[in-house]
A and B are shown apart, each in its own frame.
Chain A
């Protein structure tokens, strides 16, 4: 009831104001000169894709491995401490993670860089994947593990080939939701990849990303910037919601109990 009003209003405004802006040129061109209409969000889309790709490379293996550890070997004090800290990290403000990376990477190398942004996003992604992996591995019945053990298969082999395969859809769901989350993340990007007017040049230089572009556009006082901001918002919200709704649709009715935190 009451909760629907903001969502519907957000979707309505984004579509109403964004749809007219979007065309091929807008999606592929670099931003124009500030203060003049024209230009697009090509670098931003490219940047978001690169960033998400790098984040997946760093974050997914670590997250899945941590989840496996917590689920299969984590029933001891160490595991409980890790699980607790993981839950705390999952709710941690992303801007603080950004500051930590800023201090560690940007100040050390004296340059805003793509790598710093990807690291910050990986830290945000890690706890989400860890938790969803752990939860879905826990749903695998013990009898399957026992059966594999009874065949004389080793523990790590059982975990990798049998348990992980059985829980695959849950793990993939968690990864997709985590990707959707980091794709929309903007606060840590402001002081890690900084934003740029140009297409990707090097891993060690600033880059643009969709949420960042929306932020910059929203700060500009021109009507064209407002329209482009809505257009970029529409692209971003489509990316994020398509993943979310798709995942929900694909897993509907399945017993997928995570401690559902957004």
Chain B
């Protein structure tokens, strides 16, 4: 792992002749995770608000059970579903119209199979919804009732109560939940491997939403079991693993601290 130095993080080539650089995979990971967060967080927070603040009991039980079952589905099954179902949707209903009207923009260029960064981001969004929704809900439930009553007593409508007291009170907890979701999205492997297309080297640089690419986790799955022991490729892959390890560790520590602090402080403040 120490064979490469800084150029490992900035290089874009990926073969034994010209050296190994992990930049495309780092960027690919970030791009898919960002798509996932951008789509997943608003939906999950919406679900959490609905569950914590307004749903009648019956619906709440059903919906929260469904959300938790969504979390229990193995990621390889998301991958299979993404490969045979979601990919077709994306190719036909998202990619085709956008490319039809804006195809001249470089960020929308690419192949038409639907194996691309956008599909990977979408499947990640679906996969992180349960995580973010259930934690956000817990944080919202821990908001003291007195906060809500105070807002109601000055004549706030239901939405104003949610926005003013509940959301502002639980903001940092939701933020922590989003970061946990980000951690999941970055480390998620199998589903992404099947839908992202698996380009390597400079081809995997995320210059367009509709291009096949590669993330750090997927390059490991695609190549690690076939790398020869002692080869430079193996060292490069383990280097990617190390980078992923460091990022995942940092993100998880930050998120845990945030969620933990919110639950602890506000749990204590209720009395």
Contacts and interface: CB of A to CB of B under 8 A. Distances in A.
B6 interface: no
A3 B70 contact: yes
A245 B69 contact: yes
Interface string B219-230: 011001100010
Interface string B68-87: 11111111111111011100
Interface residues of B, number: 60
Contact of A211 (B67, B76, B249): B76
B138 interface: yes
Interface string A165-206: 000000000000100110111110011001000000000000
B248 A92 contact: yes
A123 interface: no
Contacts of B74: 183-186, 211, 236-237, 240
A191 B186 contact: no
A100 B248 CA distance: 14
Contacts of A112: 225
B148 interface: no
A7 B187 contact: no
Interface in A93-108: 93-96, 98-100, 102-103, 107
Interface string B116-133: 000000000010011101
Interface in B51-103: 63, 65-81, 83-85
Nearest to B123: A6
B156 interface: no
A94 B245 contact: no
A214 B129 contact: no
Given A95-B217, A190-B224, A215 B129 contact: no
A187 B221 contact: yes
B66 A218 contact: no
A74 B12 CA distance: 47
Interface in A2-20: 2-4, 6-7, 9-10, 13-14, 17
A240 B76 CA distance: 12
A211 B77 CA distance: 8
A93 B184 CA distance: 7
Contact of B66 (A4, A95, A260): A4
Given A95-B187, A95-B217, A186-B190, A88 B77 contact: no
Contacts of A9: 81, 85
B43 interface: yes
B253 interface: yes
B244 interface: yes
Question: Which residue among A13, A92, A241, A262 has the maximum number of chain B CB atoms within 10 Å of its CB?
Answer: A262
Contacts of A211: 74, 76, 190
Contacts, number: 176
A44 to B, nearest CB: 12
B64 to A, nearest CB: 9
Contacts of B253: 88
B187 A3 contact: no
B67 A102 contact: no
B217 A259 contact: no
A134 to B, nearest CB: 14
A190 B221 contact: yes
Interface of B: 43, 46-47, 63, 65-81, 83-85, 126, 129-131, 133-135, 138, 180, 183-184, 186-190, 193-194, 217, 220-221, 224-225, 229, 238, 241, 244-245, 248-249, 252-253, 255-256, 260, 263
Given A91-B184, A95-B221, A240-B74, 15 more contacts: A3-B70, A6-B126, A9-B81, A14-B80, A88-B256, A91-B180, A93-B217, A100-B245, A184-B75, A186-B74, A187-B221, A190-B221, A230-B80, A233-B76, A261-B135
6 contacts: A3-B130, A84-B256, A88-B253, A184-B75, A215-B79, A218-B80
